[in-house]
Structure 1
Amino acid sequence: MNDNTDRMTGAPTRRDYMKYGGTVVGGGLLAGCSDLVGQREPDSSGDGSYSVTMAPMGEVSFDSPPESIFTRLTHHAGMAFALGRGDDVNAMHAPDYYDQLWNQFTERLPGVTLDWTGLYSSWDPDKGRLYELDSDIHLADPASVNALDSWSMTDIEEVRETVSPWFGNKFSDRHDEPPTEWADHYEYYTLWELFEKVAAAFREESRYDALETIHADLLKTIEENLPPERERPTAVLAGMSDIESMYVYTLDAPGFLTAHVRPLGPIGALGDDISSGDTIDMEGLLEADPDVLFSLGGMHPQTDMPGIRSALRNHAVGRELSAVESGRVYAQGARYQGPILNLFQLEMTAKQLYPEIFGEWPTYTEGPYPEIPEDERLFDRQAVADIIAGDR
């Protein structure tokens, strides 16, 4: 590793200044932080160092903004991308798959490019590989890594102390329980609350503020125009790679996995006996009989949306679905969305649910995010592109 020589001679390295602060529990890295949640910390000394507090890590100190970035899940990688740091990501889950999916959306951001192909696939990361990557920050939740059978608390602490800090939060995805060791120190955040903290870790508060203004305006547009609940369609979000056994996800569950659907208030069609992530067959879907059927991952280049629609129409049970009869089977993107995908998916889902209010959503078959007429867009693409590029 490239900083071993410095450590052996006793000379301080850049990494030595990137340590956890706060009250350490039981000699580990868990820090009490509930009284600091939501705060932006100023420089903590005159030497330019600063700290940011986020559960479950507590207070994390930095001597300067991190450069190389390890990530595990794409909501964190998407935050780095939104801050103009997408090319500094060196690892993520299924990088080639998500590179293709993210680039379906970046096509509509003038001048913005992204390339995650060939990165280390880090769903269950190897500790030795983390030493090789030698990242300035592990933008990943240490509690979720600790939940893997291959990682102990000792491993988590070792990487934090000898490579760089952990800084991430995963269980806010649907407010799941973290491992027992972390439960007393966990907080749940919205997607944009998480993004604010990540932005602070990179000293990119101004970029966050600019993007959050666009997000807030988009939510205001949605909220001001939503029809009464009695006039809203029922819907189901499903993974439809196998229509005989589909993963389905509830729409009103807490957490950032539904951050692009929940603000639009559709009526969940699934019964109370179905939990998010359960599988159902076609008969079960017909029992729910949604007005709108969302196909998760349908915008990925490898997904055959015309084939999915055809298979439903030709299925003895599927053809009876209200969403199939009315042609309201729509492609969706990703649930582990960063802030940029969240903007696109809020616009997309608004049009899919309420075309008479927010404008028609084109019948998507393949290719990038459809080109929406400028006067029917719910947010400014050029403004987002300029923020990512650092031009605003």
Structure 2
Amino acid sequence: MNDDTDGTTGGPTRRETLKYGGALAAGTALAGCSELVGQSDNGDTNSDGTYSVTMAPMGEVSFDSPPESIFTRLTHHAGMAFALGRGDDVNAMHAPEYYDQLWNQFTERLPGVTLDWTGLYSSWDPSKEKLYELNSDIHLADPASVNALDSKDASDIEEIRDTIAPWFGNKFSDRHGKPPAEWADRYEYYTLWEMFEKVAQVFREEERYEALAEIHANLLDTIEEDLPPEQERPTAVLAGMSDIDSIYVYTLDTPGFLTAHVRPLSPIGALSDDISSGDTIDMEGLLEADPDVLFSLGGMHPGTDITGIRSSLQNDSVGRELSAVQNDRVYPQGARYQGPILNLFQLEMTAKQLYPDVFGTWPTYTEGPYPEIPEDEQLFDRQKVADVITEDG
């Protein structure tokens, strides 16, 4: 199984080791459709024009042509379709109204990029009848995670695969959780970008993947090159705080793509070892951790009152004692189930929130879209990302 590490230190940088399947480098326009499918071990083209892509837990999956209509459950998969210029072909996702609003907080900063997921089928526990009605060309979802639902057994999974369209997705790489027992012997864990590469092969969009992967590699190199030594890094906690009387907390060093925007920045986790990711603590428990930086999960969503959260902490007799509150270091975050584009923004955002003296100040956020960052303080080029998403292959 792969370790879900998003950065290494020492040796060649990512920009030196990233192997290109074509002539496209980051920021160049896409010229013509990709001719790269079948050039890797996991994307093989047969003589009849069909091709296959291999990913756990599905194994080898064959396609006659790139899928058009796309069913998704979780937003890391929907975000991958979006990154490949296929966001408008998504016909289902979990909590579409919520995530449409959240994603559009970030797309505002990508010139010419639009996204509309409103009105889609909310697919956390999709009914078999609705799956037949949607008649999607691909179910960009993990069959093991669907099988884990009480409403679906193995025969349902096989029926949908054989009579509608294949499954292609991986969920338990989110924090290296255990899949249902019947899937355990075929499961592997992937980083967000390893999974994205395989999804790109499904849609025969390797050139878009290579362009975005280079931008991502350069961003990680920038972070690694300037990361302060451990003794100069702040302590931090990632928390869901819609109600400060019952706070959900998430560990920062948990393996998996849910922390793919935090782990490369190596903050010091403030929670004690007896607290697990997803546990709830009260304000006294948070004060015991007393982080230098407090991340408010979902704080970038337009329906979240980040100013109100800050005020609640300041007005609470215990909350006002927190170092993060006293030093005005309560920051919004976006989503843990992030696709590649959100991962770029959240890496930049988290770098500035943790290390403003190194990567530039994060503007005090109260509402509205992702703040406008001066061009000379941006950690990646918005126009290059937008060009990859919007360019026709």
| TM-score in terms of structure 1 length | 0.90
Measured after TM superposition, the shift of residue 379 of structure 1 is 0.2
Partners in 1 of 2:156 and 2:129 — Cα distance? 11
The alpha-carbon deviation at position 354 of structure 1 amounts to 0.1
- Residue type of the partner of 2:43? E
The reply to whether residue 39 of structure 1 matches residue 41 of structure 2 is yes
Q: Kindly provide the amino acid, as one letter, of the partner of residue 42 in structure 1.
A: D
Structure 2 counterparts to residues 21-100 of structure 1, below 5 A: 39-43=41-45, 45-100=46-101
Q: Which residue of 2 aligns with 1:144?
A: 145
Q: Distance in 1 between matches of 2:351 and 2:43?
A: 36
Alpha-carbon distance between aligned partners in 1 of 2:176 and 2:227, rounded to the nearest angstrom: 26
CA distance in structure 2 between the aligned counterparts of 1:51 and 1:107, rounded to whole angstroms: 35
Equivalent-residue separation in structure 2 for 1:155 and 1:89 (angstroms): 22
Whole-Å Cα distance in 1 between the matches of residues 179 and 241 of structure 2? 28
Task: Using the TM superposition, give the Cα deviation of residue 361 of structure 1 relative to its aligned residue in structure 2, in angstroms.
Answer: 0.1
TM superposition shift of 1:46: 1.9
Letter aligned with residue 221 of structure 2? K
Helix, strand or coil at the partner of 1:337: coil
- One-letter amino acid of the counterpart of residue 122, structure 2: S
Q: Which residue of 2 aligns with 1:212?
A: 213
Matched, 1:348 2:349: yes
Distance in 1 between residues matched to 2:49 and 2:80, nearest whole Å: 23
1:192 aligns with 2:193: yes
Instruction: List aligned pairs for 1:174-189, cutoff 5 A.
Output: 174-189=175-190
Matched with 1:157 is 158
Identity of paired residues, percent? 82
Alignment correspondent of 2:281: 280
Given the superposition, is the C-alpha separation of residues 376 and 300 from structure 1 closer, same or farther in structure 2, using an over 3 Å criterion? same
User: d(CA) in 2 for partners of 1:53 and 1:42?
Assistant: 9
Write the letter of the residue equivalent to 1:39: D
Q: In the TM superposition, what whole-angstrom CA distance separates every residue of 1:121-179 from its partner, at most 9, and x where no partner exists?
A: 00010011000000000000000000000000000000000000000000000000000
1:269 match:
270
Please tell me whether the aligned partners of residues 136 and 164 of structure 1 are also in contact (alpha carbons under 8 angstroms). Answer: yes
Corresponding position: 1:365 with 2:374: no
Are 1:170 and 2:175 an aligned pair?
no
Structure 2 letter corresponding to 1:64: S
Give the secondary-structure state (helix, strand or coil) at the position aligned to 1:294.
strand
State the distance in 1 between where 2:373 and 2:260 align: 22
Contact 1:207 1:390 in 2 (8 A): no
RMSD in angstroms over aligned alpha carbons?
0.8
Offset of residue 238 of structure 1: 0.1
**Counterparts of 2:129 and 2:333, CA distance in 1:** 36
SS in 1 for 2:248: strand
SS at match of 1:247: strand
Specify the code of the residue in structure 2 equivalent to 1:224. Answer: E
1:390 deviates by 1.8
For residues 287-320 of structure 1, the C-alpha deviation after alignment (integer angstroms, 9 at most, x for no partner) is 0000000000000000001100000000000000
Report the Cα distance in structure 1 between the residues aligned to 2:245 and 2:327, rounded to whole angstroms. Answer: 21
In structure 2, the gaps of 5 or more residues are 1-39
Q: Tell me the distance in 2 between the aligned counterparts of 1:47 and 1:206.
A: 23
> Shift in Å at residue 41 of structure 1?
2.1
Deviation at 1:48, TM superposition (A): 1.4
Partner of 2:14: none
Question: How many Å separate the matches in 2 of 1:375 and 1:119?
Answer: 38
Q: Which amino acid aligns with 1:83?
A: L
What residue number does 1:386 align with?
387
Q: Matched residues in 1 for 2:163 and 2:322: separation?
A: 56
Give the deviation of 1:391 after TM superposition.
Answer: 6.0
Deviation readout 1:83-140 (Å, 9 max, x if unpaired): 0000000000000000000000000000000000000000010011000000000000
In the alignment of these two chains, the number of paired residues is 354
Is contact 1:142–1:168 with CA below 8 Å preserved after alignment?
A: yes
> Which residue matches 1:334?
335
What residue is the counterpart of 1:292 in the other structure? Answer: 293
1:202 aligns with 2:197: no
Report the Cα distance in structure 2 between the residues aligned to 1:141 and 1:51, rounded to whole angstroms: 17
Whole-angstrom distance in 2 between the partners of 1:108 and 1:281: 36
Q: CA deviation at 1:56?
A: 0.1
**In 2, Cα distance between equivalents of 1:390 and 1:272:** 47
Tell me the equivalent position of 1:133. Answer: 134
Separation of aligned partners in 1, 2:386 and 2:201: 20
How many Å separate the matches in 2 of 1:189 and 1:341? 18
Shift of 1:47: 2.2
CA distance in 2 between counterparts of 1:376 and 1:323 reads 24
Q: Which residue of 2 aligns with 1:31?
A: none
Deviation for aligned residue 1:258: 0.1
Structure 1: which 4+ aligned runs deviate by more than 6 Å? none
Partner of 1:367: helix, strand, or coil? coil
Structural mapping, 1:227-266, within 5 Å: 227-266=228-267
Q: Is the 8 A contact 1:55 1:186 kept in 2?
A: yes
Shift of 1:42: 2.5
Partners in 2 of 1:202 and 1:248 — Cα distance?
36
TM-fit CA distance, 1:225: 0.3
* Cα distance in structure 1, aligned partners of 2:217 and 2:303: 33
The CA distance in 2 between the partners of 1:95 and 1:162, in whole Å, is: 26
Work out which structure has the larger RCO, using CA pairs closer than 8 Å and 6 or more positions apart in sequence: 2
Q: Aligned equivalents of 1:40 and 1:222: distance in 2?
A: 30
Shift of 1:339: 0.1
Quote the Cα distance in structure 1 between the aligned partners of 2:331 and 2:143.
35
Contact in 2 for aligned 1:244/1:281 (Cα 8 Å):
yes
1:40 Cα offset (Å) = 2.9
